[in-house]
């Protein structure tokens, strides 16, 4: 596994460092990969879930019941975080996404559409953070 790292800022405030782990350092949506976020600030798990849904909805329209279900699933999994906490999503094509806090498995969401939409926040060509995406996908 190889990695590419970048940090995310909003209004000048560092939010988190993002690292994309992929086989050989070359990302492909059809291969397993992991996106690790190391937070630089405190956020509630519910706020992370809500913001994730907002970003997903901006990328692609999904039915409201689908977004509500996904938000509830994330709220059930995501803990509150503080500076230095690490949340990782591991994408296994055909098996959805597993979430970890440090090395502790939080759970998984076995929904291909959710997995694509969730990782699309960072990896979709339509992401609202194209510079972050470019850095994550940069070849080693």
pLDDT of 3-42, one tens digit each? 545 544 443 557 888 899 988 878 888 999 999 999 998 9
Task: Give the integer Cα–Cα distance in Å for 34 and 56.
Answer: 18
Q: Is the dihedral of CA 90, 19, 8, 127 positive or negative?
A: negative
* Those residues with Cβ within 8 angstroms of residue 128's Cβ, 6 or more apart along the chain or in another chain: 55, 58
pTM comes to: 0.90
Task: Give the integer Cα–Cα distance in Å for 53 and 67.
Answer: 7
């Amino acid at each position: 596994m190889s990695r590419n790292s970048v940090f995310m800022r909003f209004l000048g405030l560092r939010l988190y460092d993002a690292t994309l782990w992929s086989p050989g350092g070359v990302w492909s949506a059809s291969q397993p990969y992991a996106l690790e976020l190391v937070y630089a600030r405190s956020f509630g798990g519910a706020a992370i879930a809500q913001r994730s849904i907002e970003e997903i909805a901006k990328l692609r329209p999904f039915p409201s019941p689908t977004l509500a279900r996904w938000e509830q699933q994330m709220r059930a999994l995501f803990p509150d975080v503080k500076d230095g906490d690490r949340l990782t999503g591991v994408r296994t094509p055909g098996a959805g996404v597993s979430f970890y806090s440090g090395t502790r498995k939080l759970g998984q969401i076995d929904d291909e559409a959710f997995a694509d939409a969730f990782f699309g926040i960072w990896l979709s060509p339509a992401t609202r953070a194209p510079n972050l995406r470019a850095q994550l996908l940069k070849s080693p």
